[in-house]
């Protein structure tokens, strides 16, 4: 509560009514050994004026940095209208639809969102989102095991080029439920998964194959060949995709001869600010034949007894989300709000606007990579084409370089040494449509200077 109105007299009167002398007596059943005298990590109380000043000072720390980090969360321009509409009371205060039919406005918005996501991914049906992209991939793997009755192994093939955070989350969520995640190696020269790498599983029972496009390095996988290989084995295909890239790249629903079975990913690029890591939302879409196995919420359009159009949750019982270990992920109110923003963002930009954003990202990253690659000791790590991320290799450790750049107001990229130590001093960097030629030149000058000092040292 922002304000607690009880005076000391009010508190004494209430304690008198219930027959105790102090508030502490209400907790006398707690053993003394479990109690602490004070919260040492909590600073002294501040007034409202002091709190406002503190928050402004903290917020100011986030200003002024040029961001070249991607790695699954991206800084895109968000039109002002997106959050002006999203934060209107009727959207901002709307709770996750449990008694859903009473919330026709929320349901209509979700229905529009589902329609756009189905069109973007080329799939038949979309749900009303999940927690984030990583948990969406984990849920897609569990969904594949439920849906692929012909497979008994629970074996999910995951290329090493899939976002490492997604792989860790999948292990955490689904690893204890009988699923086996096996890693497919990548080509060190091109930074992609070669279709022939899948031949090691030619004689194995494979439940599903995960394909990220563009992959974590920004490169383009041979999605047609990989999808057709999985289909020939009777394995399902799980596509992990960046929604912005789908404005230019082939939709998962058309990969290979028959398309992917499930498409999922992170919805943050669609009008959701970085916000220090969340809340974001995950999207998940699939072919019609798999809809009964889909987690999350699905909104359908119908008519009432009088023939009037309306919206309702459909195809799923609420109870499926609360069945202990067999439960599937649900949508929370935060994710519902992010979906609202994404729906408005996609409505405002339309197909042409999304394509322009994607094209600008590709062009800016190409300019960035070309400029930085001209510095002595910096080279491209992989030879293949890329979307709006690429990997550069350095003749010095990346971590101190990033620290030096941060001191100059530049967030230079993502250090790959922890997740891909075999790449040596490698940096994943990104340039979205928000970066200008001046920004790129600023990064170039700063990095060139930092490397010069590093060589002298």
Q: With beta carbons less than 8 A apart as the criterion, state whether 422 and 416 touch.
A: no
Q: Give yes or no: residues 326 and 365 share one domain.
A: no
Q: For residues 360-365, give the mean pLDDT.
A: 98
Q: Could you say which of 300, 328, 346 is where a domain stops?
A: 346
For the whole model, what pTM was predicted? 0.88
> What pLDDT was estimated at residue 1?
42
* Position 68 in a domain: no
Does 230 lie in the same domain as 333? yes
Q: Is the pLDDT of residue 97 over 70?
A: no
- Among 400, 391, 378, which residue's Cα sits nearest to residue 430? 391
- The answer as to whether 307 is a domain residue is yes
Q: How far apart, in whole angstroms, are the C-alpha atoms of residue 282 and residue 269?
A: 11
- Confidence label for 59 from pLDDT (cuts 50, 70 and 90): confident
Query: Do residues 372 and 414 share a domain?
Result: yes
| pLDDT of 112 above 70 | yes
30 in any annotated domain: no
**15 located within any domain:** no
Per-residue pLDDT reduced to its tens digit, 371-415: 999 999 999 999 999 999 999 999 999 999 999 999 999 999 999
Domain harbouring 180, CATH code: 3.40.640.10
pLDDT over 70 percentage in the chain: 95
User: Are residues 374 and 248 part of one domain?
Assistant: no
Cα distance between residue 300 and residue 16, in whole Å: 55
Residues 334 and 365 in one domain: no
**Would you state the pLDDT for residue 376?**
94
Same domain, 87 and 218: yes
Confidence at 63, pLDDT banded by 50, 70, 90 = low
Confidence of residue 278 (pLDDT cuts 50, 70, 90): confident
Averaged pLDDT for residues 77-102: 82
Range of the domain at 436: 350-456
434 contacts 444 by C-beta, under 8 angstroms: no
Statement to judge: residues 284 and 305 lie in one domain: yes
Judgement on whether residues 368 and 423 belong to the same structural domain of the protein: yes
CATH number for the domain harbouring residue 450: 3.90.1150.10
Question: Which of 313, 346, 379 is the C-terminal boundary of a domain?
Answer: 346
Say whether both 302 and 421 belong to one domain.
Answer: no
pLDDT of residue 98: 59
* Total domains present in the chain: 2
Six-digit token pair at 102? 């009473």
Q: Mind giving me the DSSP string for 204-258?
A: S---EEEEEES-TTSBPP-HHHHHHHHHHTT-EEEEEE-TTGGGTSPPGGGSTTT
Would residue 97 count as lying in a domain? yes
User: Using CB atoms within 10 A of its CB, is residue 34 exposed (0-12), middle (13-18) or buried (19+)?
Assistant: exposed
pLDDT of residue 322: 64
Mean pLDDT, to the nearest integer, of 309-335? 73
User: Residue 104: pLDDT band by 50, 70, 90 thresholds?
Assistant: confident
> Which of 346, 373, 400 delimits the end of a domain?
346
Verify that 97 and 211 share a domain, yes or no. Answer: yes
pLDDT tens profile 325-341? 666 777 778 888 999 99
Which DSSP helix (H) or strand (E) runs through 126?
strand 125-126
- Residue-by-residue DSSP string for 49-101: HHHHHHHHHHHHTTTTPEE---TT-------HHHHHHHTSHHHHTPPP-SSGG
| Domain annotation covers residue 444 | yes
Would you say residue 100 has pLDDT above 70?
no
Are both 302 and 230 inside the same structural domain?
A: yes
Distance of CA 204 to the CA centre of its chain: 31
CA angle (277, 282, 285) in 5-degree steps: 165
> For residue 200, is it within any domain?
yes
Q: Does 54 score more than 90 pLDDT?
A: yes
**DSSP conformation class of 162:** S
Whole-number percent of the chain with pLDDT over 90? 77
Does residue 357 sit within a domain? yes
**Residue-level pLDDT at 17:** 95
Instruction: Report pLDDT for 101.
Output: 66
Average pLDDT, the chain: 92
322 & 236 share domain: yes
């Amino acid at each position: 509560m922002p304000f607690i109105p009880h005076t000391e007299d009010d508190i004494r009167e209430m304690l008198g009514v219930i027959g105790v002398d102090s508030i502490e007596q209400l907790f006398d059943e707690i053993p003394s050994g479990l109690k602490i005298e004070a919260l040492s990590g909590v600073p002294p109380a501040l007034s409202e004026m002091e709190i406002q000043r503190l928050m402004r000072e903290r917020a100011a720390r986030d200003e002024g940095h040029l961001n070249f980090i991607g790695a699954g969360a991206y800084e895109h321009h968000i039109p002002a209208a997106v959050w002006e509409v999203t934060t209107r009371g009727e959207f901002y205060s709307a709770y996750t639809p449990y008694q859903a039919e009473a919330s026709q406005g929320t349901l209509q918005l979700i229905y529009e969102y589902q329609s756009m996501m189905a069109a973007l991914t080329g799939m038949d049906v979309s749900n009303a989102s999940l927690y984030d992209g990583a948990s969406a991939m984990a849920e897609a793997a569990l969904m594949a095991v439920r849906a692929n009755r012909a497979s008994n192994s629970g074996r999910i093939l995951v290329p090493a080029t899939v976002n490492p955070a997604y792989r860790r989350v999948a292990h955490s969520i689904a690893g204890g439920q009988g699923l086996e995640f096996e890693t497919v190696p990548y080509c060190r020269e091109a930074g992609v998964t070669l279709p022939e790498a899948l031949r090691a599983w030619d004689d194995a029972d494979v439940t599903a194959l995960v394909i990220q496009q563009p992959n974590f390095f920004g490169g383009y996988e041979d999605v047609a060949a990989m999808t057709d290989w999985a289909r020939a084995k009777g394995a399902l295909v799980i596509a992990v995709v960046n929604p912005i890239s789908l404005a230019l790249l082939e939709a998962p629903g058309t990969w290979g001869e028959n398309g992917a079975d499930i498409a999922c990913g992170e919805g943050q690029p669609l009008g959701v600010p970085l916000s220090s890591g969340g809340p974001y939302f995950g999207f998940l879409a699939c072919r019609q034949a798999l809809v009964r196995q889909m987690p999350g919420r699905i909104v359908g359009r119908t008519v009432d007894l009088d023939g009037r159009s309306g919206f309702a949750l459909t195809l799923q019982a609420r109870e499926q989300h609360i069945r202990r270990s067999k439960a599937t992920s649900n949508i929370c109110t935060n994710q519902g709000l992010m979906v609202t923003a994404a729906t408005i963002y996609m409505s405002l930009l339309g197909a042409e606007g999304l394509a322009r954003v994607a094209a600008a990202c590709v062009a800016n990253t190409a300019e960035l990579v070309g400029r930085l690659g001209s510095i002595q000791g910096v080279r491209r790590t992989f030879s293949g084409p890329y979307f709006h991320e690429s990997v550069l290799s350095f003749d010095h450790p990346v971590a101190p370089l990033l620290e030096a750049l941060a001191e100059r107001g530049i967030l230079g990229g993502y250090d790959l040494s922890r997740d891909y130590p075999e790449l040596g001093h490698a940096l994943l960097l990104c340039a979205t449509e928000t970066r200008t030629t001046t920004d790129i030149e600023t990064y170039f000058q700063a990095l060139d200077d930092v490397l010069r000092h590093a060589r002298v040292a």
